[in-house]
Structure formats: structure tokens, C-alpha cells
């Protein structure tokens, strides 16, 4: 079978590829080797798939359905492996092998085309929040996961560099960076976080109704993880004449339901929305940037 990477993956990795990166060129051969090593039967490549990895629906030698995932080093697949192993299937997709090939994960098969995003908005937020709560556990002793301070430090530097070329976003960048500094001055206790949690990362399963997939794990406070969920369906929020009021109510409702400080959630939501908006500007996605930065202005 030809393991042709979906165009969504090609475009997304092209935005972040370092000079000389040849992971996409080597991907078909790597996929063939991963399948042969595990004696898998390939059903199909998941399309449109994700933005950071190739996802292949397969069956193991005993007929059990599974998912084979291949990701480049910059997507931190070994960090994902470590988090999934620590969660042990509680709230997240189950890892079916601890380690065979670097950058390759064999995972429990969920229902790839059914996420909580398919539910009505209020129900989707409720189910997503309940899933997220199960993931917030103490990190393993001596862990090597990136921290919120480390990740947002890199992001803040990139935001400042980009803002110098887009003067109209400088004010939002300053506000976001200031919010980060204040939040990190007195952080609550650390937890292992999903890192990129949103409705589309919660899929229907067999063991449990909903399970999270695709973490980019980080260690820090829970409000950082929850912040990404606040802006889910941002295009609908922007299109609504009461979008700003809905956003404020969503911050309050999510903070209360997951026992997170409301102001800390608002601060991290601001930082993460501005960071995503500025990054969209940097890689040439002006429409996405416009939506995210307008949303950030409401906070």
C-alpha cells in the first residue's frame, strides 16, 4: 500500500519544517517498515488526519483493530508516549506497546470520525471538560516533560519577534506576555497536562464513551490546559453578535466546573489565543490570525 501523507499534514509540517528536514520524504518507507515489524494489516490512511503525524488504521496479527501513528521528532512523539504510558488508558487512548521504534506509536483504535465536536455545544463542552479532568494527575517522579514555563517562554520570544513586523498586534502581545509573567510568579501545584486539548482531540471509544488523543504533554497548572478549550469553535463565537458575552460566560462556567481560578483561566486563555494568532500571522494564515486576535481582544 502507498502511504501517501494527506495534504493537511504536508501543509502543516511545511509551515514548521527546519532547513534540510526530510521526514516527509522518508515517511512512506518508515511506514512500510513499521507495519512489517508489527505484522499489521493496513486498512487505510486516516484522511484528512492530523497536522503533526500520519495516522493509519490497521489490524494486529490477531485481528484486533489498532492505530499506527508516525510523527517527526519536532512533534515530540516520545513525550506523547511517556504521557500515554503514565495515564494508562485513564481518560486517554491506550498505548498498545511501550517502545519499539522511535517516532512510531501503536494505539488503541477509537472511532476516528466521531469527536465530541459532533455534539451540541453545551454537551460537547461538558464531555470534553470531564475527559480533561481525568488527565490531570501528578507527573511521574523525575519526569523529563517540558514545563509550562519553558514552553510559553519559547512562545513569548517568538511572539515578540513576529510582532516587530506587525505593529498592529504589539499591544495584544504586550498584554499576553505581561499576563504570562504574572501567572508564573505564583503558580498552583503542577499536574501532567494534555497540552493541546480541544474538542476535536476527544474521540468516541469502546472502553469509555470519550477518550483524549494527540497530547503534546506539558507539566504545569490546570488552567493552562483548560484555556485552549475556552476558544473552541472560535469561528462561531466571532460570527455571533454576543460572542464576547458568550466567551466570558464560558470562562466562568468552565472555571467553576473544574475548580480552576477564573482569572488564571482568563489570563492563560489570553496568552494562548494571542500566541496562536501571532503564529498564524507568521506562517501566512491571515484569516485564522484575524479570528484568534479578535477573540483575544475580548479577554
At residue 2 the predicted structure's pLDDT band, cuts being 50, 70 and 90, is low
Grid coordinates representing 50?
492530523
Does the global pTM surpass 0.85? yes
Q: 32 and 45 in contact (C-beta within 8 Å)? A: no
Q: Each residue of 262-283: pLDDT tens digit? A: 999 999 999 999 999 999 999 8
Residue 1: is its pLDDT beyond 80?
Answer: no
So where are the chain's domains? 7-109, 115-297
Q: How far apart, in whole angstroms, are the C-alpha atoms of residue 16 and residue 54?
A: 16
**CATH 3.40.50.360 given to domain 7-109:** no
- What is the three-class DSSP state of 206? coil
Q: Tell whether the model's pLDDT for residue 224 goes beyond 90.
A: yes
Please state, in angstroms and as integers, the Cα–Cα distance from residue 136 to each residue in 79, 88, 220, following that order: 16, 13, 10
Residue pLDDT, tens place only, 68-91: 999 999 999 999 999 999 999 999
CA dist 211 and 91 (Å) reads 5
The CATH classification of domain 115-297, taken from the options 3.40.190.10, 3.40.50.10490, 3.90.1200.10, 3.40.50.20: 3.90.1200.10
Amino acid at each position: 500500500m502507498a502511504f501517501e501523507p494527506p495534504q493537511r499534514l504536508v501543509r502543516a509540517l511545511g509551515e514548521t519544517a527546519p532547513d534540510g528536514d526530510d521526514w516527509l520524504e522518508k515517511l512512506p518507507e518508515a511506514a512500510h517498515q513499521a507495519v512489517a515489524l508489527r505484522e499489521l494489516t493496513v486498512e487505510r490512511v486516516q484522511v484528512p488526519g492530523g497536522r503533526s503525524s500520519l495516522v493509519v488504521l490497521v489490524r494486529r496479527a490477531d485481528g484486533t483493530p489498532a492505530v499506527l501513528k508516525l510523527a517527526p521528532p519536532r512533534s515530540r512523539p516520545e513525550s506523547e508516549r511517556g504521557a500515554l504510558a503514565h495515564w494508562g488508558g485513564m481518560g486517554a487512548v491506550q498505548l498498545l506497546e511501550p517502545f519499539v521504534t522511535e517516532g512510531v506509536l501503536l494505539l488503541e483504535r477509537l472511532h476516528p470520525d466521531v469527536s465530541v465536536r459532533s455534539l451540541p455545544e453545551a454537551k460537547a463542552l461538558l464531555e470534553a471538560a470531564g475527559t480533561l479532568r481525568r488527565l490531570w494527575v501528578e507527573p511521574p517522579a523525575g519526569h523529563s516533560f517540558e514545563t509550562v514555563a519553558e514552553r510559553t517562554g519559547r512562545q513569548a520570544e517568538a511572539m515578540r519577534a513576529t510582532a516587530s513586523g506587525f505593529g498592529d498586534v504589539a499591544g495584544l502581545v504586550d498584554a499576553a506576555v505581561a499576563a504570562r509573567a504574572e501567572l508564573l510568579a505564583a503558580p498552583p501545584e503542577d499536574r501532567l497536562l494534555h497540552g493541546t486539548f480541544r474538542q476535536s482531540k476527544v474521540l468516541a471509544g469502546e472502553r469509555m464513551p470519550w477518550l483524549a488523543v494527540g497530547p503534546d504533554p506539558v507539566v504545569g497548572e490546570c488552567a493552562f490546559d483548560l484555556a485552549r478549550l475556552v476558544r473552541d469553535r472560535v469561528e462561531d463565537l466571532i460570527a455571533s453578535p454576543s460572542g464576547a458575552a458568550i466567551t466570558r460566560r464560558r470562562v466562568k462556567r468552565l472555571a467553576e466546573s473544574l475548580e480552576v481560578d477564573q482569572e488564571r483561566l482568563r489570563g492563560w486563555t489570553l496568552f494562548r489565543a494571542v500566541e496562536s494568532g501571532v503564529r498564524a500571522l507568521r506562517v501566512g494564515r491571515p484569516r485564522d490570525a484575524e479570528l484568534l486576535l479578535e477573540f483575544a481582544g475580548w479577554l
